[in-house]
Structures are given as C-alpha cells and as structure tokens.
Amino acid sequence: MGHSDQGAQTPIPDRGWLLALPKAEVHVHLEGCLAPELVSSAARRAGAELPGDLEQGVHDLDSLLRTLDISCALIDTEAELIDIAYGFSRHEADSGVRYADVIVNPAHWPAWRGRLDSFVAALDAGFTAAETDGFTPVGICPSIGRDQSASEAVELVEWIVADQSERLVALSIDGNEEAAGRSSPRFADAFGRAAAAGFHRCVHAGESSGPEGVWDAIDLLGAERIDHGIRCVDDPALVAELARRGIALDVCPTSNVRLGVVSSLHDHPVEQLRAAGVRVSINTDDPFLLGTDIPAEMASVATTFSWGTDVVAEMARTSIDASFASAEVKRALQNELSAFLESPS
C-alpha cells in the first residue's frame, strides 16, 4: 500500500495546528452530544436506572442506536434541550469548528412526540444563545429513521416546510439500513418534497449497506452529501461517479472502527477514496459518546496515512464547501482558511 511514511510533502499536522485550522463539521448527531452529567441527573430525576457507563456498551450500530434512545428518552424539559444545544455549539468551538450542520432525529426523543415546535424552539434558543456568546453557528438537519414509515417521513417534511425557520437547513436520514432492508424507495417522496421546497439533503448510506445503498441515496433521494458512504469502495463505477459529480462523503473514522464497519483505521478506505478523487470531509458522528473531537479524528487519520497539512487542509476546505451554511458564511470561512494556510506557522 502506498501509505507508509514516504511522500508527505508537508509535515503531519499536530493537534495545535488542527485546532486552529478553520473547518466545518457536517456529520454529527445531537443525540451523541449529551453531556454524561446531564444524562445522569435526568435519570436520577426520573428514578431510572442507567445501564452503567453508557459509552462502554457501544460496540456496533444497533447498540449505538439503543444507547442514543436510552439517553434521549430521559430528556423532557426545555431547559435540558437549551443546555444540550448550547453545549454542542461550545464543544464545536472548542474544536476549532467554525460552522456545524447537526443531525437531529426526533424519533430518538419520545418526550417531544407531537411537540416538535417546542422541541426545535428550545434547541434554537440554545444555539442562538451560544452563537451570541461567540460559539459555533449551527444548522439543524432534521432526520428520518430508516425504520420509519413513508407517511411519518412526509409528515416530518411537511413540518419542516411549514416551520420556515432558517435554523432548519436540510432533510437527513439515519439509522440502520441493514436492519431496515432496502428502504430508500419508501422515502423518495419525502426527499423529493424537501428538495422542491429548497432544503438540502444528506443521507446515511454505505455504512451498514453496500454500494447499492449509496446508489439509491443519489438516484432516489437526491443526496448532496453521503454520511459515511465508505462501502462505495466496493464498486469502482460508483467511486468514479461520486468523484465526477463531486458528491462529498462525510467520513467518521473512529465511529467506523468502534462500530465494526472497518476492522481498523489502517483498513479504512478513506485514503483509497481520496486518492480516487472523491471529496472527503472528516467528522465525529457521536463525539461525546465516542470520546472524540475533530482534531483527534484528523490526527488519527493523518498519522495512519501519513497525510501532510496540505491533505488535511483540503479536507477542511471540503467540509466548508460541502456544508449547508449560507453562501456568505461559506465564502467567509474559505477566506479564513486561505489566510490561515498562508500565515507563517
């Protein structure tokens, strides 16, 4: 393989440089960003018994999704949602993330069923307060679960379209594709409606599904970005298509190793995909639960594949460009990135 330590034109970046690097995060779930203290105090209040250290129980996609269900089910006050949103934005700022698209799947939050307005209003209040305090601006990508019905999906889209809040930027879909079977045909109508109303689309595919899941994401759901997407590597025609169309993959290295999607970081296809011309950004998926942040993710892959600062900077550029921030925000961030790269280190 070509990724021994030869060939790094620029030095492998250290954490200080990675922290300072202007970048966006585009694949992160709010459900995976609950502070452990907040979850345990919510459990205490509810008289619920938590199954030990929640993080310890996560070893595959199913156990991750179950863990998200357990913790989010405890959250039933607006004050907690405000706290979670504020804490997320602060965490992103602490990682040097200048803009984040956050995925929020209402199906994980049963206390808010039928009260989506209050749910999103509380999150919006938390994000607004955080941004006012100088932390990272956030766009919400409301998400459908792969196990939901077509009518639930359409209902969510109708709510998004009616809400008219600038906070909502895209329709997302997540959950377990393998367990759901081929489900994209069921959601094509919902995604078509979201697109027609001017919303962006990001789709989890090619994590627990193979290349066929990624083809469906593009062909049936109009995905502009693929969350994970890494199993595309098994279909050269798909890799070529993603590269040709510039559809970015929102890659989460630690998540893929932890959930057994790849057997080790060394075996992760991200380097092969990058070399094939596929646009890639580096993300955290569920950072509080997986104990990671963007600089740590970038450092692991850069070390594993001997990527210099030039390669990592290109991924930061992709993260900004592929984000659903407004054109003005994207332009400002690209300029910030260019200035950072030109400044003497």
Q: 207 touches which of ligand HPA, Zn ion, none (CB within 5 to 8 A by kind)?
A: ligand HPA
Task: Name residues whose C-beta falls within 8 Å of residue 94's C-beta, 6 or more positions apart in sequence.
Answer: 293
- Residue 308, token pair as written in the block: 């210099």
Region 211-230 residues binding ligand HPA, contact defined as CB under 6 A: none
Q: How far is CA 107 from the centre of its chain?
A: 17
Q: How many residues does the chain have?
A: 345
Phi and psi for 207 in degrees, rounded to 5? -110, -70
- Of 48-56, 60-68, 109-117, 179-187, the segment contacting ligand HPA by CB under 6 A is 60-68
CB of 221 to ligand HPA, least distance (A): 15
Region 129-148 residues binding ligand HPA, contact defined as CB under 6 A: none
**Residue 82 contacts residue 51 (beta carbons within 8 Å):** no
Q: Which of 221, 67, 66 is nearest to 143 (CA)?
A: 221
For residue 284, state whether it binds ligand HPA (rule: CB under 6 A). Answer: no
Q: 175 touches which of Zn ion, ligand HPA, none (CB within 5 to 8 A by kind)?
A: ligand HPA
For residue 281, state whether it binds ligand HPA (rule: CB under 6 A). Answer: no
Region 32-51 residues binding ligand HPA, contact defined as CB under 6 A: 32
Q: 250 touches which of Zn ion, ligand HPA, none (CB within 5 to 8 A by kind)?
A: none
Selected catalytic residue, list 25, 80, 207, 224: 207
Indicate which single residue of 91, 98, 204, 279 sits in contact with ligand HPA (rule: CB under 6 A): 204
Q: Within 10 Å of residue 133's Cβ, how many Cβ atoms?
A: 11
Phi and psi for 98 in degrees, rounded to 5? -95, -15
Q: Given the DSSP bridges, would you call strands 248-251 and 97-104 parallel, antiparallel or unpaired?
A: unpaired
Size of the site for ligand HPA (CB under 6 A): 12
Q: 286 touches which of ligand HPA, Zn ion, none (CB within 5 to 8 A by kind)?
A: ligand HPA
For residue 175, state whether it binds ligand HPA (rule: CB under 6 A). Answer: yes
Q: 261 touches which of Zn ion, ligand HPA, none (CB within 5 to 8 A by kind)?
A: none
- Residue 141, token pair as written in the block: 């990508």
For residue 106, state whether it binds ligand HPA (rule: CB under 6 A). Answer: no
Task: Name residues whose C-beta falls within 8 Å of residue 65's C-beta, 6 or more positions apart in sequence.
Answer: 175, 176
104 in helix, strand or coil?
Answer: strand
**Residue 23 contacts residue 99 (beta carbons within 8 Å):** no
CB of 255 to ligand HPA, least distance (A): 6
207 assigned to active site: yes
Residue ranges in contact with ligand HPA by CB under 6 A = 29, 32, 61, 64-65, 174-175, 204, 207, 255, 285-286
- Catalytically active residues, by annotation: 207
